[in-house]
A = this chain, B = another copy of it.
């Protein structure tokens, strides 16, 4: 507390880093690139998990758990996959420590070297498809719809809390299907599910699309994605869903007997979202005062702060507050009554503002006399004095209204930051001066994509599924383009 947050327009990046730490979401640990997710941040992640997990189960998926370690030889079985992950992985080479003979301390025991090195999973396709070979024999075993909640490790040189950490938490779905169409349908259904979650739980508008070849997942035939826009005009990939074709089935020899008795390779998808969503949530809604949380994900939805002098007044206030808190909890709201006597109301107001609690109730002597509460909403800072018997419906209204309002605000910002351009000059100008998504024509080649990336740092975020599909000419080469794609600088 105390010191004010850096403002967004002074230094967006510094604002983010400060906010994540000061709002008690996460902090760096003593282990390079690995974060500690603090209780308040973890409570938000738990709500995300619960929402997603319910949606996965409702669409027929089951959870399971696969090993943390992947033998080096497994990773190598799918050629483009190992290419994609070999450069950034944690390698276990030994299984024992011992006391150094010269008394210099604890050392790795050279006699305990593994025959084959183990990689800490950067993603689990290989270990899972090695397992699916045993699980899948016949069309009766399909579809196989499995999800795993797990930690994964990708060795990152430059890390940022939630956005890019060497270890992160995620879910990874891995499904197996009898036909190509079924697998593609699954991958698309999951993209829709992720978009639904982003928009309706996180109040974060997203654009659905597919990745270009060079941005595809290592081992995928098609990568579907949802892309969000942060308040600094940079895009953030919020979730991906991959149609893997038969690549992993072939690498791990997973065949099934069709109804007609033929042996065929299985079709696959994989898909995931991670604690990166926490970073996206922070950057989509928060302001210079701190976090702004959507009611659906807020660990505390309503905080009640008593304003009093002396314990007699506090006691009288508590008598009014406790039945209200009870009533709200019975309706499923998460309510905190902060009656600490170690902190002043102003301090508490700042703390809950910083932590993004959607609604704050305050009750002081005048309210006690008038039978009222002061209700303040975090998103707009509007305050209102409300008679006690109207508090519950007011809060019910606010929970929905805040959820809607912050979505609309983010949606409007996003819409204002999709710019159509027709020349490369204009592209560079908009990218520099305004940021956001730029809808431009592109000739479909990796060469042009690379040139733009190198010269401007913008990448093709996706080829959108919806929207304008008019053909045109590439802004760089003038070659034909089937439709506009979305460029942006990205996290």
Interface segment out of the listed A29-37, A229-237, A393-401: A29-37
State the Cβ distance, A453 to closest chain B Cβ, in Å.
24
The yes or no answer to A478 lying at the interface (CB within 8 A) is no
| A96-113 Cβ-contact flags toward B at 8 Å (1 or 0) | 111000000110100000
Most chain-B CB neighbours within 10 Å: which of A64, A82, A88?
A64
Which residues from B are CB-within-8-Å of A76? 105-106
The yes or no answer to A63 lying at the interface (CB within 8 A) is yes
The yes or no answer to A89 lying at the interface (CB within 8 A) is yes
- Copies of this chain present: 2
The yes or no answer to A420 lying at the interface (CB within 8 A) is no
Interface segment out of the listed A117-125, A407-415, A440-448, A479-487: A117-125
Which residues 114-164 in A have Cβ within 8 Å of B in the complex? 117-120, 127, 130-131, 134, 140, 146, 150-151, 153, 155
Q: Which residue of B lies closest to A165 (CB)?
A: B67
| A31-58 Cβ-contact flags toward B at 8 Å (1 or 0) | 1001111110011011000000000000
Contact of A96 among B29, B37, B89 (CB under 8 A): B89
Which residues from B are CB-within-8-Å of A119? 97
State the Cβ distance, A86 to closest chain B Cβ, in Å.
4
| A164-201 Cβ-contact flags toward B at 8 Å (1 or 0) | 00010100000000000000000000000000000000
The yes or no answer to A71 lying at the interface (CB within 8 A) is yes
Q: Number of A interface residues, CB 8 Å?
A: 62
A30 close to B127 (CB less than 8 A): yes
Which residues from B are CB-within-8-Å of A131? 29-30, 36
> Would A68 and B34 be within 8 Å (CB), given that A87-B96, A89-B95, A91-B95 are in contact?
yes
Which residues from B are CB-within-8-Å of A92? 90-93, 120
Which residues from B are CB-within-8-Å of A134? 27
In angstroms, Cα B72 to Cα A105, docked, is: 10
In angstroms, Cα B341 to Cα A140, docked, is: 12
> A-side interface residues toward B, CB under 8 Å?
27, 29-31, 34-39, 42-43, 45-46, 62-72, 74-76, 82, 86-98, 105-106, 108, 117-120, 127, 130-131, 134, 140, 146, 150-151, 153, 155, 167, 169, 342
